[in-house]
Chains A and B, each alone.
Chain A
């Protein structure tokens, strides 16, 4: 499949174009140098589920930390230190907390890499000349096209949203 791209000068122009084209039922994606909240609404994107992953990992990290501390100080090696209790919840709190935080952070980071499809070395978009402005000052819109014959219409519809330019890119690798 191919991807049709259009660049707009401002975020507002992009958002406008998105609204128009969505009504025409296109599958859209946008590329912006900074997050544009209106876009999500215009694209009717669902809320990110990333937080669940992070939360679950966090709970797991904390539980594992507490369990581990109990295991090594009360079960595996019950050594008498200063007559303190072997299972000493108060003393186990700090590490439990820190490990919970650590797991959450790692979870969130890993999740964003996966969900945002990062850690790729190359993408057809990089071949599109001028697309570099997507990380600079330009605002880009992508229309996922199916068969070539509809292409013409798509181009027309795109042109109707008077972009700065229109370009074409191969499908994702």
Chain B
């Protein structure tokens, strides 16, 4: 199963530090190709659509969305949970894999962390937007108010506010700290004065002294250490938005681990969706190798199975509880009720797709990976739709049962966040080295040492 590094390297060839650096920095110096410009234009247009719809919603009222009673939460919260979930892969890769000393993380962690940040930015829009009175969103945070009332911290929503804020801040610090040495490199090798000033400011005057490196590594280790429980806690708390409620289909203790697994699942899917075209476009196949993709696929398989387990337990408990509302929810409402096709799509995408990755050949087939990753992203969105909308459609009192249909605004906002996300991501690709240069040099050095060690006795 696990090929030796030699047979299946995580860094192809033995580039000199100079070559490596030039290759990795080239993405920031070079012109974005035509493809990049087209993508940027599309992303820009969708972003405008997003902010247009936001303005329309805030000006007219949340009623322009399809929400109703009983389905008082719909696309807004679905998108929120989906984007937050995607935002989990980055921290997982850079923190947990760092602690586990998984070298292969080096080539993709910067990339994944950026993805995390941008995804969390999208997610962060929705807790505000879905409010009836968004302009009072700050009431969820504690501040000495003349109204003399503070947030109600027994509710899961202030927990959310705390978790999302923390997660964004920590991810940003972690990402930026990792960037500092590379920013210094950019500063020292920038072709133009304007860039030198820009990167110079961002580099905070990094000189790479041994002392600095010592504290730097300590700080990086601590951030990695705390980001690991954080990444688990964030989606657990998000899941409690539902788990503390008594809606059939929400009130479930499996939710925290189930949500975390789903989050990492969708996160890695998104990593693949992004990394596959990028490595091709910027000719980095020697740095981000098939080995990396294969390892992501393995993680998809694992988390996919965890998610499948989650579904199974949900169904078992629904049956075992004997609660007729729960049973109806899972055995009638979801599979046959309104919007049931989403439920079946969810099963197909989330359960069947990852089974492909039992086969090494398919794991290493880039096309298959790309399509599969997109299917899984769709599947995870569908999962949130099922959990949120379908649960609310079929609650305790049949008299209150009602279906749900999104409006064009709902759809536009979803598309818009995809555009906004891509916009940020495309900008990042051109502005910063999306593979950690310093770490790659370090990795290269370590690999060189090992090769020497291998050859030594021979």
Contacts and interface: CB of A to CB of B under 8 A. Distances in A.
Interface string A110-141: 01110111111111010000001111110000
B165 to A, nearest CB: 7
Nearest to B180: A118
A50 interface: yes
B162 A34 contact: no
B371 interface: no
A35 B206 contact: no
A40 B210 contact: yes
A32 to B, nearest CB: 6
Interface stretch (B211-219, B293-301, B426-434): B211-219
Given A112-B219, A116-B216, A33 B148 contact: no
B204 A95 contact: no
Contacts of A43: 210
Contacts of A91: 153-154
A88 to B, nearest CB: 6
B21 interface: yes
A117 B180 CA distance: 13
A48 B214 contact: yes
B226 A105 contact: yes
B170 interface: yes
Contacts of A35: 213-214, 216-217, 442
The main secondary structure of chain B at its interface with chain A is helix
Contact-residue size bin, chain B (C-beta under 8 Å from the other chain): 35 or more
Chain A interface SS verdict (over half): helix
A137 B152 contact: no
Contacts, number: 194
A88 B233 contact: no
A121 B18 contact: no
A135 B214 contact: no
A137 to B, nearest CB: 4
27 contacts: A30-B209, A32-B208, A34-B442, A40-B210, A43-B210, A50-B218, A50-B219, A51-B222, A54-B219, A92-B153, A94-B233, A98-B237, A99-B162, A99-B166, A101-B226, A101-B233, A102-B169, A111-B219, A113-B204, A117-B205, A117-B211, A118-B212, A122-B205, A132-B188, A134-B188, A136-B188, A137-B18
Interface of A: 11, 29-36, 39-40, 43, 45, 48, 50-51, 54, 58, 65, 68-69, 72-73, 76-77, 79, 81, 84, 88, 91-92, 94-95, 97-99, 101-102, 104-106, 108-109, 111-113, 115-123, 125, 132-137, 142
